[in-house]
Chain A
Amino acid sequence: MPLLHAQALSRSFGSTRALVELTLSIEPGEIVALMGANGAGKSTFVKILSGVLAPDAGSVLFKGRPYAPSVPAEATAAGVVTVHQSTDLVGIPGLTVGDALLLNRFVDRREPFFVSRRRVRREAQAMLREAGFDLPVDRNFAELPAADRQLVAIARALVNRAELLILDEPTASLSAAESRRLYATLLDLKRRGMAILYISHRTADLAALADRVAVLRGGRVVETFARPVDFDAAIETMIGRPLASARPDARRADGDPVFEISGGRLLPGSEPFDLALRRGEVVAITGVLGAGKSRLLSAVFGAGRLAEGAMRLDGARYAPESPREAIAAGVAMAGEDRHRSSLMPAGWPGETIAETISLPHLSRWYPSGFIRPRRERAKAEAAIDRLGIRAAGPTASVWTLSGGNQQKVVLGRWEAEPGRLLLLDEPFQGVDVGARHDIITAIRSRTDRATLIATSDPEEAIEVADRVLTMDHHTIREGRAGAGARRIGEDAR
């Protein structure tokens, strides 16, 4: 008997059918990966299982009994625990890791009213022992790396006697080494009989973990692949069209560099490095979280400073004091975490696709100062066509779009005007394979500027770039094209 069996689940939002008679079962001790392009229905399915949404039709059996949680707490009580992508919400900055582990016990009225530090530490350690994790119980939660926050959430799930663990893109913000640690943990949990529903876009994750891959498209399971999984076939099933091989041959850009750093130091003590980017060239920088990739991009964009060294743009001295000056000089940056760095909140002016694209170009497009919406809408429509953004139209809110389409809007913002250098920090965060492919094509089709991409995923780097560099301890180690890059890719597995 399967642990969980979802039978013909349907759910619509207005005229959009997010789930269409989805049927899927999960056995105890099985890791099932859920793959699907954005909008395929993955998150709707997860929300139904975790008690956030109710299905319009269909039913779920959990351990042979009907299962229809109306609030997340009911799902948790039944043994279905969901660990969300964003783990900031697992604990509270300023409180300790032990507090975070015991957080849901604090709200339990059966627990004693007075809490001693010693008891918190003892019980938190007991929890960790049971889970087999090693975490610093007394550390401030805010100082905990993203990978360890995941573990806090998982440890809490274990104490709640979870039988089905749902993980939503758990490795999105993890480095390769951190991901490997998570894999080991999950495989151990599987051995202990826990079922895991794993949602991810990364083939590396799925290859390491999944017993079975269920591919979602258009709100239903179109195909399931058993181990060993043919990922090319799975990806083609997912996006519904053949996938052209990773990327065309690397171009050899020559001529004078568009952008140069000589003798650059990111931190006063770090090793100096040089960097030169040529016109039409796409260069990726990989490295673990904290290696200094974002710091480098910020410095080039004027949002931060180099500790030392000179930058040149088109041969002229370039030392932007602010993003404003950088943009004026033709340098653009789409920052990491687009929600924080690029988008306006939902329901606030500026949330539409057209307004999102026009924000940096307002003074150029509206020199009189008065907004004429037609102009920015035309620009947005052009971006929607060129990048294949799936949206109702230029005045649709970016919050109605999937992650991949949001990222395309952000890219469209900086492609709306010509530039000399485009900086992209983790442009594939929360972007599915299909949209990633579109974005890569769009990035590579522009030859009038240089593009510098920072990504912690070496596979992405190889896929998008002509040249891959690695960053380590705040300095660039020049990777040779081809062979060097390939080797980095293998490290990730």
Chain B
Amino acid sequence: MTTAHDDTASRPGAGEHLREFLRAGAVFILLFAMVVGFTAAQPAFININNLMSILQAVSVVAILGAGVTVTLAVGGFDLSIGAVAASSVMAASYVMIVWGLGAFATIPLVLLLGAAIGFVNAFLIVRLKVPDLLATLSMMFLLTGLQLIPTAGRSISPGLILPDGTTATGAYDPLFLLVGRSSLFGIVPLPVVIMGVVAVLLFVLTERTRIGRLLFATGGNELATRLAGGPTDRLKTLAYVISGTLASLGGIVVAARVGRGDVSSGASLLMDSVAAALIGFAVLGLRRPNVFGTIVGAVFVGVLLNGLTMLNAPYYAQDFVKGAVLVGALALTYGVARGRA
């Protein structure tokens, strides 16, 4: 699919070739096997509504994962995305319920918030030279606490009593709720459409444009990129702003689905989207962050969890399954690849 892949596949040697094929296609082969297996065990699995509910369930993780992928491409890591998404849920609810604004004001405001947080992350990392993991980890802490302050720790729903004793008068804009609850042609849920659009845009940006080339160059060898005239500081900033904006977009989808500002929303989003991005390394055997792989990784985990749930696997086994998939994918990516010269 990409040049890097073509090159490795075209190297001669029959055994090498088969191995390369298996490594590149392993995730797809497993995905196909799972779909067949689950359908055999529970025919309702292949139902279009069930498939759409799987995609809907993974859409937020995939959107956030795409953001993580971009930060991984510049050689960074954004740990604050889960907290940004959660804060965005709270912010969207607050803007509508307390400030009484409509969807058309709320969505840009929340996206702006995400972009601003990304910008602050980038400032810490690029200007103050704070290591990326530490900077975004502290940002995660800060946001996890900050989102509780305006409402004194309460969840936000209509009729919220504010810290000063007054009652909020606003409500969720029905238009806003459509983002999470409507479907295109009655089949494809809007979050899935949003996921698709994000996936295509970011895939084109990272793999087909010179900005994408420069983003990866920054992550590959920052010094070489700077000496080739690449504006590495601006590129890193761009990556974190994209990541923050996508995280708040994910938050908007969650808020529109849930219809309230829950304090505990977004708890597992960080781990799940990082896992999706890392599983993505194994897709096509690229061994590097890539948007397409991240989306496939998110879907892979979604299919597995949905299928297991249909087979009445206990809910508490979910994290174990995700962890096992991640370990397996990474072992496949790095371990099997070692034989290559």
Contact = CB atoms under 8 A, between A and B. Distances in A.
Interface of A: 13-15, 301, 303, 322-324, 326-328, 333, 335, 340-345, 347-352, 355, 359-360, 362-363, 366, 369-371, 373, 395-397, 413
Contacts of A362: 210, 213-214
13 contacts: A13-B341, A14-B16, A303-B227, A324-B231, A326-B229, A327-B229, A348-B216, A350-B217, A360-B229, A363-B210, A369-B210, A371-B213, A413-B228
A352 B6 CA distance: 12
The 9 A-B pairs of least Cβ separation, nearest first, read A362-B210, A360-B228, A344-B220, A349-B216, A327-B229, A348-B220, A324-B229, A359-B228, A366-B210
Interface string B212-227: 1110110111011111
B210 A349 contact: no
Nearest to B219: A348
B220 A395 contact: no
A370 B207 CA distance: 9
A323 B226 contact: yes
Interface string B1-14: 00110110001110
Contacts of B208: 370-371
A371 B210 contact: yes
Nearest to B206: A349
Nearest to A327: B229
B317 interface: no
The SS class assigned to the B binding surface is helix
B230 interface: yes
Contacts of B167: none
Contact of B209 (A327, A328, A371, A373): A371
Contacts of A352: 3-4, 7
B154 interface: no
B211 interface: yes
Contacts of B231: 324
B72 to A, nearest CB: 12
Interface of B: 3-4, 6-7, 11-13, 16, 208-214, 216-217, 219-221, 223-231, 287-288, 341
Contacts of A369: 209-211
Contacts of B341: 13-14
Which of B7, B11, B341 has the largest count of A CB atoms less than 10 A from its CB? B7
A396 B6 CA distance: 10
A345 B12 contact: no
B210 A344 contact: no
Contacts of B220: 344-345, 348-351
Nearest to B210: A362
Contacts of B287: 347
B209 to A, nearest CB: 5
B213 A355 contact: yes
B227 A341 contact: yes
Given A352-B7, A370-B209, A340 B229 contact: no
A457 to B, nearest CB: 23
Given A13-B341, A348-B220, A362-B214, 13 more contacts: A15-B12, A324-B231, A340-B223, A344-B221, A344-B224, A345-B220, A360-B229, A369-B210, A369-B211, A370-B210, A371-B210, A373-B3, A397-B7
A395 B229 contact: no
Contacts of B221: 340, 343-345
B6 A395 contact: yes
B13 A14 contact: yes
Given A13-B341, A14-B13, A324-B231, A349 B226 contact: no
Nearest to B214: A362
Given A328-B229, A349-B288, A344 B217 contact: yes
A350 to B, nearest CB: 5
A99 B208 CA distance: 49
A395 B6 CA distance: 9
Nearest to A365: B210
Nearest to A396: B7
B13 A349 contact: no
Contact of B4 (A341, A342, A349): A349
